[in-house]
Amino acid sequence: MEAHCLFCKIVAKTIPAKLAYEDERVLAFHDINPQSPVHVLVIPKAHMTSLAHSTPDDEALLGHCLRTVATLAESLGVAHAGYRTVINTGIDGGQTVHHLHVHLLAGRAHGWPPG
Ligand code: 5GP
Ligand code: ZN
């Protein structure tokens, strides 16, 4: 828990969020400013600043974050149509919240290359 981290506060439930999934290691909640009809963020509960800050010890947790995206997409009914998964990292990656999060975007076609 990082005292000044927004997403750590969502994990601690001192800031509310519309939850989509929770277990002992990860939390998923709907983005406050959705960019697609479905826009959910999957985060590790333990603070990790970004993918660039991950270590080999985080491999299982990172895999669990991705598997959570896949099972959430199934439960939200978007897996068949498909979805976009995004991890923004650092300044050039456009990361604005410095607690690792995986975006799950669905419900419309997503263009490539991204902006
Ligand atoms: P990033 O740009 O760091 O990849 O994504 C951060 C995401 O967090 C953005 O899509 C933004 O809308 C979302 N976000 C920022 N503050 C909050 C908040 O307080 N609650 C929720 N649910 N999402 C947030
Ligand atoms: Zn945090």
Q: How confident is the model at residue 11 (pLDDT cuts 50, 70, 90)?
A: very high
Q: How confident is the model at residue 1 (pLDDT cuts 50, 70, 90)?
A: confident
pLDDT tens digits, residue range 31-53?
A: 999 999 999 999 999 999 999 99
Give the architecture (CATH level 2) of 6-106. 2-Layer Sandwich (3.30)
Instruction: Specify the amino acid at residue 102.
Output: V
Q: Which residues pair with 102 in a beta bridge?
A: 42
The stretch 69-80 carries a mean pLDDT of 98
Say which residue the tokens 């826009």 belong to. 39
Q: For the chain, report the end-to-end CA distance as a whole number of angstroms.
A: 32
Residues with CB under 6 A from ligand 1: 6, 17, 29, 31-33, 88, 94-97
Q: Residue 61: is its pLDDT beyond 90?
A: yes
What is the predicted pLDDT for the residue at 115? Answer: 85
What is the predicted pLDDT for the residue at 44? Answer: 98
In what order do the strands lie in the sheet containing 102-106? Answer: 19-22, 26-30, 38-44, 102-106, 83-86
Neighbours of ion ligand 2 (CB under 5 A): 2, 5, 7-8, 47, 99
Q: Which residues pair with 103 in a beta bridge?
A: 41, 86
Which ligand does the CA of 89 lie closest to? 1
In our burial notation (b when 16+ CB lie closer than 10 A, e otherwise), range 19-41 reads ebbeeeebbbbebeeeebebbbb
Q: 54 burial class (0-12, 13-18, 19+ CB within 10 angstroms)?
A: middle
